[in-house]
Chains A and B, each alone.
Chain A
Amino acid sequence: MVNHMAGENPFHDPLRFERKVPECAVVIFGANGDLTKRKLMPALYRLAFERRLSPGFAVIGISRTPMSDDQFREKMRESVQKFLEDSPFDENVWSSFAQGLFYMAGNVDDAKCYTDLKQCLEGVEKQRRTGGNVLFYLSTQPSQYGPTATGLGVVGLNKGDGWRRLVVEKPFGHDLASSRELSTTLHKVFVEEDLYRIDHYLGKETVQNILALRFGNGIFEPLWNRRYISHVQITAAESIGVEGRGAYYQEAGALRDMIQNHLLQVMATVTMEPSASFQPNSVRDERSKLLRSVRVMRPDEVARYAVAGQYGPARLGGENVPGFRQEQGVDPQSQTDTYAAATFFIDNWRWAKVPFYIRSGKRLPKRVSEISIQFHEAPHAVFGNGFAEKAIPNLLILRIQPEEGVSLKFLSKRPGTGMTLRPVSMDFNYGSSFGERSPSAYETLLLDAITGDATLYTRQDMVEASWAVVEPILEVWQTSRFNFPNYAAGSWGPTASDVMLAQHGHVWRKP
């Protein structure tokens, strides 16, 4: 007989039942925006499709455009049908899910929006029995984060019978000072525990798998240090350009848009110390500690350890591809970095003197995100250099996208009478070993926020630590005049980036 504690659901079976969304309302500010249509609504629909939503679940969409509930439902239906990935659209599931969708037109700069929302929430709570739990999701312009949170606080929506949580999308400020300012504003209304700063990279299955690989196995951790690892390369390459986001991207750049948040978080996941448990704050404490150990560059080191690039026009696949400065909405003299690479060092016992090369760029040859861990070469060449076709040290590659998986490259004897070595690859392919569909990052992260699990969310001290790392680079770049463009679309970035690695005797891996 299975005994249950008072107040526990005796019907729950963690062995077989998937984690469920408890009764709640999700309020999306910016409900008519791209993020809602492309990511949030398809993710919520998928949760409905997998029967993870409670009957007492509702979504209230808010944006300026006047719309009825039914018009909003129809709009969201079109978006889900269009943007749903690896999943069928089921008419019956949708009609049941759509009953819980509501819409309210409102301007977040107007105090009336919040009094209206309060009233709307009361009505929805009665109709759907959402238990007073509310997740506010800010899918608006970053400049509206502060005013929206303040508005919620003024009418008392930050507190209620159930829990109240606020999800904020990146960017969390545009530098250290503005990040602190945003945080101060948000903290006036929500305590840190109820703030969920979303970094969708951390929600990716393969990024989470880094933790499983490192801490679920005994064989890797003993090698996971300066003694065995020569250097680490983290690459996030996009083959596309700015695709109509020129105006936004011009203000951000690759260093701010990718490295400050996503890639430094990935680096922290690869290099952090094991946490004592898989509790949200234990894991986040270790990530934060690691980010605080990253050596902050002096201004005179920036030219040596960081490279900015911008793509120029090229002819790719039989068509002319514009350079960044020719993109719509971009200043023809723009100094924005569409490519950024940096060498970081982690000043702790485990990683002292190991270079971490991070690069991210647009219009590179292919879309790929991976972490490549290069081990030291064998200390003594027993077979002599002539035996191997090419001297290749062991590589452990963690592929985040596409073809998610892990590969280990090592040398093997080529069949035959002679002793000729050839590099071979031992592959673990996520898709073939686990045929089931992986949830999207937003499915995972929305479910986490609703169930109150902040493990994969970024805490303010982590945000500040990563801003502290990139800010010296940004400051030097802002006062520099680059001779852009310095790489052709479709190439692996500027030559200076290769030079940056060459000074340590390393070369970029071509994924």
Chain B
Amino acid sequence: MMQNIIIGQYVPGKSYVHNLDPRAKLLTTFLFVIIVFLANNWITYALLGAFTISAIVVSRIPIRFIYNGLKPILLIIILTFFLHVFLTKEGPLLFDLGFIEVYQGGVEQGVFISMRLLFLIMITSLLTLTTTPIDITVGLETLLGPFKRFGLPVHEFALMMSIALRFIPTLLEETEKIMKAQAARGAQFSSGPIKERLKSIVPLLVPLFVSAFKRAEDLAMAMEARGYRGGEGRTSIRLLKWEAKDSLLFVFLLVLSIALILLRS
């Protein structure tokens, strides 16, 4: 059960995608989210698909991890697909079931929207799967650096994020431990009527909150004890290096964008 949660689930590797500068990956993901909306016909969607799939292939992340990341939103994708199929009335009528009419435009729209969602989720999970949380944070902090001038607490934001990311596995581990302890006392989490199952969450959540607060206090204390005083003048031990391969990624992205603009209808 715990294995399905993909956030912060970094899969170590040495592929091209793994070795990219996190800033390059972050920017690419951000730009990809925008150019996904350029696609509006079969050929442009095929291009996006080719880009996404080759990114996954190059990263050598087992397909299972990508699928696990998709699982939670699969239902939403299916739902949007059918909403479009049944509600969009464009193009020639494909068939008529009496109570429901399906048009070609509807099917097309359904497929397009589902693909759009699929590609978005795949690319964003690829980012978290190939980049350590720490790298993402450092990347974000440098990318957002210029906004400090406008009073944006960039450092604090990055720190919060790295702490949150850092503690996801810890909390999951803790959850598993408490679940086991309560299961040993006869609690049942995965069977029985819904009402009972909801009630069984209390013995899990209360200890989890107690320990999370305690952890937070301990962490704050430990940081202060080691002289942490916020971001002012603080340098990072991780220096990001922008290399040719990172620029290459933008060439790919540029080519993709131009192709999309030229081929869209």
A and B bind: no
Interface residues, chain A, CB within 8 Å of chain B?
none
